[in-house]
Structure 1
Amino acid sequence: MKVLQLCNKSPYPPMEGGPMAMHAITEILLNKNCSLKILAVNTDKYFINPDAIPDDYKQKTAIEFVYIDTKLKKTGALFCLLKNKSYHIERFISNDFKQKLIETLQQNNYDIVQIESLYLTPYISLIRQYSKAKIVLRAHNVEHKIWKRITKNTPVGLKKYYLKILTKQLKTYELNVMQTVDGIAGISEVDKVYFLSQGIQVPIETITFGIDPQEAQFHKIKHFPVHLFSIASMNWIPNLEGLQWFLDKVWMKIYDKYPDLLFYIAGRNIPYDFPKKRYPNVHVVGEVPDAKQFMIDNGIMIVPLLSGSGIRIKIIEAMMLGKPIITTSVGKEGIDAIHKENLLIADTPDAFVSCLDYCLKQPEQMHTLGANAVEYIRRHHNNEMIANKLMDFYQRILKQ
């Protein structure tokens, strides 16, 4: 089977959620002996030097890059506002990418073109024009739902009003364009149910993020006192928003009760002015060389998301390692785990403190959470199972 994977970011190296999800699909396709070609976007926000890609990866994927200037521009935003177009999407339209895509489609007869994320869907008509391939949209999340939640958490004012308009435009575009593909590979069952509730009529299958079950190993916390940690890509607004809320609303309640507790914040692209003020016992460590080892070395993971959609891959990674996790209902969304069985859910400052009490006052409960999390990941995020499901989905679409 010949597959063209169109990526709005480079799937390699898999350093954050989006690229990790795309890389997982790449690995599935290669392991299933598909003939694969990757065409990826490079932007200033997420730029990968093509020379840094290993030769064997280049050979297996024939990866190529096209630079697109997606920087926010007042003129572009105003034009889209007046024309009632989604500025989120318009920023990814590029003549250079169009030409490279045409060239790629003319060189091979693909069976499947998989579009990674909503942002590359403006090229659907071009794909239809130059290829007979079936088009699968890999929906990493519900984009307009993310922005609806961000808008809700924005203070009343001109920015909130503008975000409401952007969200409405994005929702209209997202739901309309989904009707033009041949299939949708959603990343969570929650997203699939939502798409169906909105009247999407094309075939939809849940293809979640998978891991090698052998990599799921319980790492029992051995060092006490146990400290807290967070690791996330901080150029994604929901991560930054959630952590700032946690520091402002939750941390001092925790500090008052546990004054010896430390909180380590790691991640890529942490803004120079984050956090907005100093908080006792909070350490911003920035980007770490090995995210997996950082999680193993630290204690309880905090994921205080207030907005977002899809699935939090860093939570999957942490559960795979047996880490106790405290997150919000939004953070847990898309992961069919159970409160006080596989992880802990807290949506208010007092609930976060209560969940911390649950872990620290009876450490065995904390260890049980971690052990259960590992078993959950082995059962529900087995890569081979997900790979078979994806290939079956492709075959169904090809028979249409």
Structure 2
Amino acid sequence: MKQKSILFLTTQLPYPPVSGGVIKTYKLLQFFSEEYELHLISLLKNDDENHAEAFLKQITKLFSHYFFPLNKPRSTGNLIKSYFKQMPLNVYRNFSPQLKDEVHKRAEGKDILFIDHFEMFQYVPEHFSGKIIFHEHNAEFLLWQRYAELLPLDTRKIAVQIEANRILKKELQYCRKADLIFAAPNDIKALTEKGADKNKFRPTYHLGNDNLLTLPDIEYEHTKPKLLFLGTLSWEANKKSVIWFLENCWSAILQHKPETTFEIVGKNADEELKNIVNEHSNVFLRGFVENLEEVMQDTRVMISPLVFGSGIKVKNLDALYRGIPLVTTGVGAEGLKLESNENCLIADNSEDFTQKVIMLLEKQPLWEKIKTNSRALARKEYTWHNELHKMKKEMECFFGS
């Protein structure tokens, strides 16, 4: 039987695969290239062009690829242009008439269009005869809506809320046009509550580095009183969560246990975050770290104090894989089978978050329990092998094998 042909559209080159969404896209391409006749169209952002050759050496079974450099910054000027084009800002920032023409040519005769990210759905040809799969990395409107809720009542809050509404309108339009939609369970709930057809959705997860499960357990006595945060710091939700923790929890933790240190690992920290870090004792901004085991092996507590966001938080999965007890928020726990006091600790205000961090720093029996249960949960529920084969099965059941 002839392999089905897939044209896969994504917003950036998924290489090197070092952050949540990029890892998911890379794993999908790796898997689909073995199972289908796979054709790729990818935008190139920032320094993506420098990694294109290395990427193609890793994904060797692509039938064709087309890379298109496009960099439109998030700016007031582009926001205004997006209003004239009647597009949400991030849709406009990923739009090119030239690329639209190329997609139309390359989509002809394909069985499936796989749309990776909300911003790429705009390229679906109006009269495409095959099936359309929409892979939602986040419920995009919810990211903006939650961010608006955190802002003081001023023109910026109003602008962000307007953008959330524009995104929601477009997101629901795309959901109506798609034949099958993969999204995280919490994002499925958010979108169906706004009117998207729940019958089109199938749950999926953004997983992390499940190879961490092969490493031996970390022993309590080999750790230091050290906290660790992982995440790309150009993402506003990560930046704001680190700032919230430093401004609301850190001094109380140091007062109780002065030898505690806090390492922040992630690229693209801006000057605002660097300045805030410099105002606090025992806090270290490590930047990008290629081998995370270097910073994980002596860490006693992982923190993920997210105050807004959507989708699956890969940093939390990496804590589960490595067996480092995690303190997160309700937002951070969304979409995962996390249970406070069983496989993590969950807190949604600064006092509770502070106390739960201190508990894990000092109470070895609780630490051991969370470590053991978190790795068991990850092994059972969150491996790439199971996730990718589950997606393939859903696709074949829906469209016919």
Matched, 1:16 2:19: yes
2:42 corresponds in structure 1 to 40
What is the TM-score when the length of structure 1 is the normalising length? 0.91
CA RMSD of superposed structures (Å): 2.2
Q: 2:9 & 2:316 partners in 1: Cα distance?
A: 26
Matched, 1:266 2:271: no
Q: 1:103 & 1:209 partners in 2: Cα distance?
A: 31
What is the TM-score when the length of structure 2 is the normalising length? 0.91
Output the amino acid matched with 1:77: L
Output the amino acid matched with 1:69: N
Q: 2:395 & 2:330 partners in 1: Cα distance?
A: 32
TM-superposition CA deviations, 1:355-398 (whole Å, max 9, x none): 12321232121122111111101111133332232122212332
1:115 corresponds in structure 2 to 115
2:137 corresponds in structure 1 to 140
For the Cα contact (< 8 Å) 2:325–2:367, is it kept in 1? yes
TM-superposition CA deviations, 1:41-85 (whole Å, max 9, x none): 1123x6342444255325223443211222134343224346654
Once the 2 structures are TM-superposed, how far is the Cα of residue 115 of structure 1 from its aligned partner? 0.7
1:296 corresponds in structure 2 to 297
2:177 corresponds in structure 1 to 180
Provide closer, same or farther for how the CA distance between residues 3 and 293 of structure 1 changes in structure 2, counting only shifts above 3 A: farther
Q: 2:113 & 2:104 partners in 1: Cα distance?
A: 13
Which secondary structure state, in structure 2, belongs to the residue aligned with residue 53 of structure 1?
A: helix
Pick the aligned partner of 2:91 from 72, 89, 92. Answer: 89
Provide closer, same or farther for how the CA distance between residues 293 and 3 of structure 1 changes in structure 2, counting only shifts above 3 A: farther
Output the amino acid matched with 2:13: S
Output the amino acid matched with 1:192: I
TM-superposition CA deviations, 1:100-141 (whole Å, max 9, x none): 3234224xx3222211110101112x2x43x43211110111
Pairing of 1:168-207 with structure 2 (within 5 A): 168-186=165-183, 188-201=184-197, 203-207=200-204
Q: 1:80 & 1:6 partners in 2: Cα distance?
A: 21
The count of aligned residue pairs is: 392
Which secondary structure state, in structure 2, belongs to the residue aligned with residue 200 of structure 1?
A: coil
Provide closer, same or farther for how the CA distance between residues 35 and 215 of structure 1 changes in structure 2, counting only shifts above 3 A: farther
1:336 corresponds in structure 2 to 337
For the Cα contact (< 8 Å) 2:209–2:321, is it kept in 1? no
For the Cα contact (< 8 Å) 2:13–2:52, is it kept in 1? no
Pairing of 1:1-400 with structure 2 (within 5 A): 1-31=4-34, 33-44=35-46, 47-61=48-62, 62-81=64-83, 85-106=87-108, 109-124=109-124, 126=125, 128-129=126-127, 131-186=128-183, 188-201=184-197, 203-210=200-207, 215-217=212-214, 218-277=217-276, 278-399=279-400
Once the 2 structures are TM-superposed, how far is the Cα of residue 246 of structure 1 from its aligned partner? 0.8
Which secondary structure state, in structure 2, belongs to the residue aligned with residue 326 of structure 1?
A: strand
Identity across aligned pairs (percent)?
22
What stretches of structure 2 of length at least 5 have no aligned partner?
none
Once the 2 structures are TM-superposed, how far is the Cα of residue 317 of structure 1 from its aligned partner? 1.7
Output the amino acid matched with 1:170: I
Q: 2:168 & 2:298 partners in 1: Cα distance?
A: 41
For the Cα contact (< 8 Å) 2:225–2:260, is it kept in 1? yes
Q: 2:395 & 2:224 partners in 1: Cα distance?
A: 50
Q: 1:156 & 1:213 partners in 2: Cα distance?
A: 42
For the Cα contact (< 8 Å) 2:224–2:299, is it kept in 1? no
Once the 2 structures are TM-superposed, how far is the Cα of residue 293 of structure 1 from its aligned partner? 3.8
Output the amino acid matched with 1:386: E
Provide closer, same or farther for how the CA distance between residues 63 and 182 of structure 1 changes in structure 2, counting only shifts above 3 A: same
Which secondary structure state, in structure 2, belongs to the residue aligned with residue 230 of structure 1?
A: strand
Once the 2 structures are TM-superposed, how far is the Cα of residue 215 of structure 1 from its aligned partner? 4.7
When structure 1 is superposed on structure 2, of 190-199 and 47-56 the one drifting more is: 47-56
Q: 1:6 & 1:224 partners in 2: Cα distance?
A: 43
Output the amino acid matched with 2:196: I
